Structure 1
Amino acid sequence: MDLPELQRVVFPAHERGEYGEALDAIDRYQIKDPDEVVDVAFWRMCLLSLLGRTDEACAEFARRLDEGLWWGERIIADHDLDAVRDDSEWQRLAAVSIARAEEATTGPLEPLDVRPDGETVGTLVLLHGFGWRPQSILDRYRPALGWGYRLVALHGTVPVAAGRFAWPAEGAETVAIGQLHQIGDPERPIFSGFSQGAGVAVRLAWSGRVDTAGVFLVAPAFGPRGAPTPDTVQRPVPTVILAGSEDRRIDKIRRVSKDLQALGAPVRYDERR
C-alpha cells in the first residue's frame, strides 16, 4: 500500500465517522518515504482526538516535534482537533509548533518539470492544494507522461507545515507566472489545480495574463477572493470542474459553476459521489 491507497481507506472511513477503522489502517501502514510522516502523523493526531484519546494525541504530537516536524496555526486549527484543544499539554505543544512555523524560512522554491520520453503533445501546469507540495500533485498526474504530456508542478510559497506549502492570499497568480518564466513559458498549457490551487488556476487562466488552452479544476476552493467575476475576466477559456457530492463546499462549487457558465465560456461540470 502506498500513501494514495492509504488515503482511499482513511478518508472515506473518516467521512463515515468510523475513526477507529481509519486509525487501524494508519497504524498498519508502513511508511516508505520519510516525507510522508508529516501527513500520516497529523492524520493520526486528528483521529486520536476524535476518539477522545487525548493523552495519546499529545504523545504523538510530542514525538513528532522531537523529530523536528511542525504544523502551523492554520493546520492546527483543524476542527478534528477541537476535542484536545483545551488540554494544557496540547496547548504547550501547539505553542512550540506554531513558534517553529513562524520561524520557518524557505530557500529557492522551484517548480518541478518532467518531460515525457517521446514526443511532447502538450503541457499540463499543476497547482497543488493547501498543505501539499508540488510532488504530491505531480505524482497523481504521472500517467499523463505516457500520453505525451510535459508536467510542470508549480510551488506554493507559504510554509504551513514541515515540507508543506500553500499559495499566498494575495499575489498567487504573480508567483505562478514567475515560476512559469523560470521554466521557459510553455506554449498554451492546460492548467489544472486541486482545492486552493484550483482557485489560483482559474483566476490566472481567465485573467488573460497567460495564454492557456484550458483549465481543469478538482474540488476547487475559491477562497476569500472568490471565483472570476465579469469585471476580472479578460479571456474565458474552456473549463472543466470535477467535484465530489460530499464536498463540504459543494453548494458554493455548484453556484460558481453556474456563474462561470453565465459568463459565456464552455464550462463542463462533473459531480461524483
Structure 2
Amino acid sequence: MSFVELERSVFTSFGKGDFEKVHALIFKAETLYPDNLNKILFWKACVFSVEGKVHQSISALKEGINRGIWWNPNTLINYPDLKKLKEYDDFNTIINHCDTLLKEAKQQSQFKNYTFGNPESDTSLLTLHWRGSNVANFAHHWFNDDLLNNYQFSFPQSSQVHGYNSFCWDDPEIALQDTLQSYKNISPSNTVVIAGASQGGKLAIEYALKETINTKHFIAVVPAIKELDSFKEILNQNYTSNLKGWIITGDQDYFYDKTCLLNELLCEHNIQSELIIKDGLGHYFPADFSHMLSDVLKEVNIKK
C-alpha cells in the first residue's frame, strides 16, 4: 500500500468513526513511512483527541517536537479535532514552540521547482500543491506510468513556509512570483495546462481566468472556494475566450457548495467548465484520479 493509499484509508476510516482501524493504519504508516512522521503523528493526535484521550493526544505531539517535527501553530489552534486540547498548558507550550520554529523557518525558505515525466512531451502540466504540503508528498497523486511517459509535469514548491516541510500560497504576490518562475522553465511551444488542488486548485482557476499563464485549460481538484466575489471581479474585468476547465470535487468536501456555485458562475460567462462530482468524497483526491486525469489530458490533446 502506497502512502497516498494509506492516507486515503485513514481519512475514510476516520470519517466513518472507525477509530480502531485508524489506529491500525497509523501503526502501519509509522513502520512503512517514517519520513512522513509529521503527518502520522498529527493523525495520531487527532484520533486520540476525538476519542477523548487528551493526554495521549498531547503525547503524540510532544513525540514530534522531541524528534524535531513541528506544525503550523494556527493549524493546532483551529483544527476542530484538537479543540479538546486548548485548555491544557502542555498544548499551549507546544503551540508557542511551533510559533518560534515557524518564524525561524520563514527566514530560510526558498522557492524550488521540480519536473517529472517526459521532457520531450509537448504537453506540460504546471501543478500547484495544496496548502500545508510539499512536492514530494503531493506529486504522486498525479502520476502513473502512462502519464509519466506521455506528459511533462512541472511542480513549483512555494517559498512560503506553512509548517515542518510544508508550504502554502497565502501571500498572493509571492505565490504569483513562484508560479511564474516555474512557468518560465516550460517550453513556449508546449501546450500548458494549469492545475492544482485545494488552495492550489483555486489559484489554478484564477491564473487561467486572468490569463496570467498562457493556457486554455485548467484542472482544479477540490478547490478551496470560500467566496465568489473575487471571481466575479475577475470575470467582469477579463474576457477569456476558448477556456476549458475541469473541476473535480466531492459532495462531502468542505467547499462543495461554493465550488458548485463557482462552476455555475463560470458557465454563465461562457467558460466551458466541467464539474465532476464524486459521491462520498471529502477534501481529498479521488481514488481513480490518475485515470480521470488521463482522460482529461487526452481531451486536451484532441483540442490542440
The reply to whether TM is greater than 0.5 is yes
Task: Select which of 265, 273, 276 maps to 1:267.
Answer: 273
Task: Select which of 214, 218, 225 maps to 1:215.
Answer: 218
Alignment of 1:21-170 (within 5 A): 21-76=21-76, 77-104=78-105, 105-116=107-118, 119-143=120-144, 145-170=147-172
Gaps of 5+ in 1: none
Q: Tell me whether 142-151 or 60-69 shows the greater mean CA deviation.
A: 142-151
Are the structure 2 counterparts of residues 49 and 233 from structure 1 closer, same or farther at C-alpha, using a change threshold of 3 Å? farther
Are the equivalent residues in 1 in contact too, given 2:109–2:159 (CA < 8 A)? no
**2:89 corresponds to which letter in structure 1?**
S
Alignment of 1:1-16 (within 5 A): 1-16=1-16
3-state SS, counterpart of residue 52 of structure 1: coil
Q: Tell me whether 33-42 or 208-217 shows the greater mean CA deviation.
A: 33-42
* Paired residue total: 272
Gaps of 5+ in 2: 280-304
Are the equivalent residues in 2 in contact too, given 1:31–1:37 (CA < 8 A)? no
Are the structure 2 counterparts of residues 183 and 54 from structure 1 closer, same or farther at C-alpha, using a change threshold of 3 Å? same
Measure the CA separation in 1 of the matches of 2:74 and 2:4. Answer: 23
Are the structure 2 counterparts of residues 65 and 232 from structure 1 closer, same or farther at C-alpha, using a change threshold of 3 Å? farther
Q: Tell me whether 143-152 or 66-75 shows the greater mean CA deviation.
A: 143-152
Measure the CA separation in 1 of the matches of 2:100 and 2:227. Answer: 26
Measure the CA separation in 1 of the matches of 2:238 and 2:27. Answer: 48
Q: Tell me whether 176-185 or 153-162 shows the greater mean CA deviation.
A: 176-185
Measure the CA separation in 2 of the matches of 1:142 and 1:241. Answer: 18
Q: Tell me whether 250-259 or 131-140 shows the greater mean CA deviation.
A: 131-140
3-state SS, counterpart of residue 111 of structure 1: strand
**2:201 corresponds to which letter in structure 1?**
A
Are the structure 2 counterparts of residues 54 and 180 from structure 1 closer, same or farther at C-alpha, using a change threshold of 3 Å? same
Q: Tell me whether 229-238 or 60-69 shows the greater mean CA deviation.
A: 229-238
**1:201 corresponds to which letter in structure 2?**
A
Give the structure-1-normalised TM-score: 0.91
Measure the CA separation in 1 of the matches of 2:274 and 2:212. Answer: 22
Are the structure 2 counterparts of residues 185 and 40 from structure 1 closer, same or farther at C-alpha, using a change threshold of 3 Å? farther
Q: Tell me whether 21-30 or 243-252 shows the greater mean CA deviation.
A: 21-30
**1:57 corresponds to which letter in structure 2?**
S
**How far apart are 1:160 and its partner, in Å?**
1.4
**How far apart are 1:225 and its partner, in Å?**
7.8
Are the equivalent residues in 2 in contact too, given 1:126–1:137 (CA < 8 A)? no
Residue deviations 1:215-265 (CA, integer Å, cap 9, x gap): 011001135686632234342510101111111211111111101111111
The alignment status of 1:242 with 2:248, answered yes or no, reads yes
Q: Tell me whether 184-193 or 132-141 shows the greater mean CA deviation.
A: 184-193
**How far apart are 1:182 and its partner, in Å?**
4.6
3-state SS, counterpart of residue 112 of structure 2: coil
**How far apart are 1:107 and its partner, in Å?**
3.9
Are the equivalent residues in 1 in contact too, given 2:129–2:200 (CA < 8 A)? yes
3-state SS, counterpart of residue 36 of structure 2: helix
**How far apart are 1:207 and its partner, in Å?**
0.5
Measure the CA separation in 1 of the matches of 2:15 and 2:34. Answer: 26
**2:161 corresponds to which letter in structure 1?**
P
